Amino acid sequence: MQVVRHGGFASAARATGLQKSLLSRRVRLLEERLDTLLLQRSSRHFSVTDAGRAFYERCAVVLEDAEAAEQSVAQHHAEPCGIIRLSCPVALLTFQFGALLAKFIMRYPAVTLSLESTNRRVEVLEERFDLAIRVRFPPLESENLIMRVLDTSTQCPIAAPGLVAAPLTSPADLNTLPSLDFNTAPTSHSWLLESRDGQTATIFHTPRLATDDMAVLREAALAGAGIVQLPTMMVWPDIAEGRLIQLLPDWRPRAGIVHAVFPSRRGLTPAVRTLIDLLAAECAAQRHDASRVVEP
């Protein structure tokens, strides 16, 4: 490897501190074992044969993978430190991850968190983010990024108890009540629901309030302004306390996928790796708590 990398035995000997004769003997033994000429050498000439070039390139890949494996083991034992550039959707940050991120930087004082709270789809590579949290509906598009699934983003139709005089029995009953929607499109407002036995129903509605701010929709629902479809992780504490009720528990909107995307596993720092693991654990814990309140 070193002889080819440095372009000759003399240069490789200087770079490695090994004797030129020792390097030459090792190459000769390798050629004998492979029964193939790898290098053309004389007192004035050095070149790599086609077989030698192919062998070098394959060995370089193996060596790189071995170094990466060693680095990954070392990183697992390293203390998290450095700057993490993170983006996260606004509602997810407010209702699910905000407190965890505060605990994270307190637990690891050598870590600095640069956080962008945004609903826009950031360009991880171009904008030099270390990590982006996203919620998307399958099928997920293919990207030149590594993805780790954190949770399933289930949603449910909810309303303030005083808004619903009697339990709803079918999706069509939703049209008897005022609605709110997470959608600012002027002409397209609909909910797609699926029953436990696979039936589907599309409910078209005209919302009294349409916005891309889920926190505002939750406040409007709590005030009794209308029914709304929101993430389970956002509203289950309100359902547990009786401030909101779950409508049509046998019907559910399609679920999204909460996932983290990052440029490469190989370059994952201990700080980013630790944060991803904590986010996954937090999702599992909150999902367990919510399952005791909201019907799956």
pLDDT digits (tens, 9 = 90+) for 109-131: 999 999 999 999 999 999 999 99
Identity at 99, one-letter amino acid code: A
The pLDDT, as a whole number, for residue 164 is: 93
- Asked, as a colleague might, if the bond just before 139 is cis with ω within 30 of 0, I would say yes
Distance CA 168, CA 39 (A): 81
The pLDDT, as a whole number, for residue 142 is: 64
The pLDDT, as a whole number, for residue 92 is: 93
Of 156, 294, 159, which Cα lies nearest the Cα of 223? 159
Q: What is the pLDDT of residues 61-117, one digit of tens each?
A: 888 887 777 776 666 567 899 999 999 999 999 999 999 999 999 999 999 999 999
**10-residue averages of pLDDT along the chain (296 residues):** 75 79 82 84 79 84 79 70 95 93 95 94 92 85 83 93 92 95 82 92 94 95 97 94 95 91 81 94 91 79
Q: What is the pLDDT of residues 198-207, one digit of tens each?
A: 899 999 999 9
The pLDDT, as a whole number, for residue 47 is: 85
The pLDDT, as a whole number, for residue 155 is: 92
> How many whole angstroms from its chain centre is CA 60?
30
- Domains of the chain in sequence order: 2-77 (1.10.10.10), 82-154+256-291 (3.40.190.10), 155-253 (3.40.190.290)
- Give ∠ CA 194-196-199 in degrees, rounded to 5: 45
Q: Show the DSSP H helices in the chain as ranges.
A: 2-5, 9-16, 20-34, 50-77, 90-92, 98-107, 214-222, 232-240, 270-291
The pLDDT, as a whole number, for residue 23 is: 74
